[in-house]
Chain A
């Protein structure tokens, strides 16, 4: 029980700090802390493989991607004219409305969850072996697994196409046609 509250407190505090930071690099690093606490919660839930995958995939791969983009763009601060809006107390109207919506969502979820508070107590049987998970993944969920691989391929191609630098999309073609003639002319002289 104490472990649950320890990990839960770390996860919630780190997530709160993530959205409160001004500098995205600190946010990314704090989100890794939050993911570590969540992976501890997965261990408490008898899901060690998910815990390891959480660390490797999220903290290791996705967050490094975020960190790379934050450092590549090199725009650590939100724009200065928006800094007044960054403080939650004296925000603009859309920001107050957004905060209100988020609070309403939390209140609704809490209301829905407290109604069945006494119901859920964990039973004995927990599927924690990697062998059982792998067997289920490659038999019952084989089709979904293959679809996932196609999704990864599409995402990879899409990311390459979207992030490609288009250096004057048309001009290199035209100049490519004219340049050989220019280059031939000095050669003849």
Chain B
């Protein structure tokens, strides 16, 4: 049987992949996708700890994280659309001014 450490290790690897995506990619949509990977890694940690502690709280927190992820995706993608309309680009290096 896989232990808690197996799940935590897998979650750490997924979180590292998401972090690498945020650092390495130069596309706003790819950065948002990488953030989703990181949120899922954290969800896996919550469920694994809830299972190890015999508690349902971990799963409930996962529902809240999913809600926040949905809200973040909606607002983030709306910002991406607004930025693309002004700059015709998805490269975050072009979004250097706070005002246009």
Contact = CB atoms under 8 A, between A and B. Distances in A.
Contacts of B27: 24, 78
Given A69-B29, A116-B5, A34 B24 contact: no
A110 B3 CA distance: 15
Contacts of B54: 123-127
Q: Of residues B14, B55, B74, which shows the largest number of chain A Cβ atoms within 10 Å of its Cβ?
A: B74
A26 to B, nearest CB: 11
Interface string B17-55: 111110111110110111011001001100110111011
Contact of A158 (B13, B75, B91): B75
A68 to B, nearest CB: 8
Given A45-B51, A85-B26, A101-B23, A163 B10 contact: no
Contact of B73 (A65, A116, A144): A65
Contact of A159 (B5, B64, B75): B75
The majority secondary structure among interface residues of chain B is helix
Interface residues of B, number: 70
A163 B7 CA distance: 39
Contacts of A58: 36, 40, 66, 69
Given A31-B33, A34-B37, A82-B26, A158 B78 contact: yes
Given A18-B21, A66-B29, A105-B16, A162 B82 contact: yes
Q: Of residues B3, B10, B16, B59, which shows the largest number of chain A Cβ atoms within 10 Å of its Cβ?
A: B59
Nearest to B26: A82
Contacts of B59: 47, 49-50, 127, 133
Contact of B66 (A57, A88, A91, A99): A57
Nearest to A56: B66
A100 to B, nearest CB: 9
Contact of A109 (B16, B68, B78): B16
B90 A75 contact: yes
A65 B75 CA distance: 11
Interface stretch (A35-43, A171-179, A180-188): A35-43
A159 B73 CA distance: 9
B67 A148 contact: yes
A19 B18 CA distance: 8
Interface of A: 1, 4, 8, 11-12, 15-16, 18-19, 24, 27-28, 31, 34-35, 38, 41-42, 44-47, 49-50, 53-54, 57-58, 61-62, 65-66, 69-70, 72-73, 75, 78-79, 82, 85-86, 88, 91, 95, 98-99, 101-103, 105-106, 109-110, 113-114, 116-127, 132-133, 136-137, 141, 144, 148, 151-152, 154-156, 158-160, 162-163, 165
